[in-house]
């Protein structure tokens, strides 16, 4: 397992899948080990995937300073990985909360990014609010599912700000296009892959300056793919379209029937879209 040193000496690990030109992949969570990404539905048959375990997650070391888990502090970890790989410019792929880190990296080091793929991205870094109505509207697409009634009641509790551990568990099916054994196993593994202390620090005060980030993204000329899942209430297509509109050169794609993990819901379709963009 390859490692490199971050700016503060923390040893960070990454995992490599496939051959060809590398794509640096940033996991979400926030602060979840990259193992949940797998090889992104065999995207590794088209490109070499360099999966970073963010500090304090997966095989990467725990830093001495817990404040370094803050998203804006993680930017220089990505930069250290780019330098370690000897790449002048990189293709960057980020999922969910990892998109916040990708956006901040683009804002700070735009000259080092050749293409940017954002997969069902979080919007904290750019200040786009996802309303309860947008989540309900997306959830209603699943009303024929046998688990819908219980999950939708829990969603209402969550939207009202009264979430419990039970309600978070009950809405889990909404994050997958199919709530089958594979999805249930994927979801069950999540807790063991997350660093909760790091997740709490990720979005701490000062981590984000949405106005500055939006200004930077508006000046970012390289190609951008923003891929949304049709039934993903974590990143509803309506809000994802707004996010794509922040870039001057973005392609916005909605993957039919997909939730928050589109490479699980329809690997062939996900890979066809993403590989074509990264060519």
Packing angle of the helix pair 132-139, 148-159 (nearest 10 deg): 180
Residue 117 CB neighbours (<10 A):
26
Q: How far apart are the first and last CA of the chain?
A: 27
Question: What is the pLDDT, as a whole number, of residue 162?
Answer: 85
pTM of the shown model: 0.97
Cα–Cα distances in angstroms (integers) from residue 208 to residues 55, 143, 218, 267, 278, in the given order? 19, 36, 16, 33, 28
In this prediction, residue 65 carries a pLDDT of 97
pLDDT at 170: 95
pLDDT at 164: 86
Phi, psi values for residue 150, rounded to 5°? -65, -45
pLDDT value of position 213: 98
- Does residue 30 have a cis bond before it (omega within 30 degrees)? yes
Average predicted confidence (pLDDT) for the chain:
97
Q: What digits encode the pLDDT tens for the residues 45-76? A: 999 999 999 999 999 999 999 999 999 999 99
Of 149, 134, 26, 7, nearest to 77 (Cα)?
7
Q: What is the pLDDT of residue 166?
A: 87
Residue in 130, 139, 140 with CA at minimum distance from that of residue 238: 130
CA 10 to chain centre: 23
Alpha-carbon separation of residue 229 from 63, 79, 179, 218, 235 (angstroms): 34, 29, 15, 24, 8
Nearest Cα neighbor of 227 from 88, 78, 43 is 43
Task: Supply the DSSP symbol for 6.
Answer: -
Residues of the chain below pLDDT 50: none
Look at residue 165 in the predicted model and tell me its pLDDT. 82
CB proximity list for 169: less than 8 A, separation 6 or greater: none
pLDDT for res 163: 80
DSSP string, 74-140: HHHHHHHHHHHHT-SSEEEEEETTHHHHHHHHHHH-GGGEEEEEEES---GGGT----HHHHHHHHG
Q: Tokens 């956006």 belong to which residue? A: 103
């Amino acid at each position: 397992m390859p490692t490199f040193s971050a700016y503060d000496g923390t040893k960070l690990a990454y995992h490599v899948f496939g051959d060809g030109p590398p794509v640096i992949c940033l996991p979400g969570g926030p602060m979840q080990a990259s193992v949940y990404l797998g090889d992104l539905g065999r995207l590794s048959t088209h490109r070499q995937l360099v999966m970073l375990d963010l500090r304090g997650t997966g095989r990467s070391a725990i830093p001495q300073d817990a404040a370094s888990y803050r998203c804006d502090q993680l930017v220089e970890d990505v930069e250290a990985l780019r330098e370690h790989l000897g790449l002048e410019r990189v293709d960057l792929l980020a999922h969910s909360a990892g998109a916040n880190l990708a956006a901040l990296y683009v804002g700070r080091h735009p000259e080092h990014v050749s293409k940017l793929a954002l997969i069902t991205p979080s919007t904290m870094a750019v200040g786009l609010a996802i309303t309860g109505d947008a989540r309900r509207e997306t959830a209603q697409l699943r009303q024929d599912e046998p688990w819908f009634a219980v999950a939708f009641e829990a969603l209402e509790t969550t939207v009202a700000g009264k979430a419990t551990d039970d309600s978070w568990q009950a809405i889990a099916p909404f994050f997958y296009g199919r709530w089958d054994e594979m999805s249930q196993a994927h979801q069950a593994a999540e807790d063991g892959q997350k660093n909760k202390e790091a997740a709490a620090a990720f979005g701490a005060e000062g981590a984000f300056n949405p106005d500055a980030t939006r200004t930077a993204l508006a000046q970012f000329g390289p190609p951008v793919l923003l891929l949304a899942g049709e039934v993903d209430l974590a990143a509803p297509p309506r809000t994802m379209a707004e996010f794509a509109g922040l870039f001057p050169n973005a392609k916005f794609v909605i993957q039919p029937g997909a939730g928050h993990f589109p490479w699980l819901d329809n690997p062939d379709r996900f890979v066809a879209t993403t590989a074509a963009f990264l060519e």
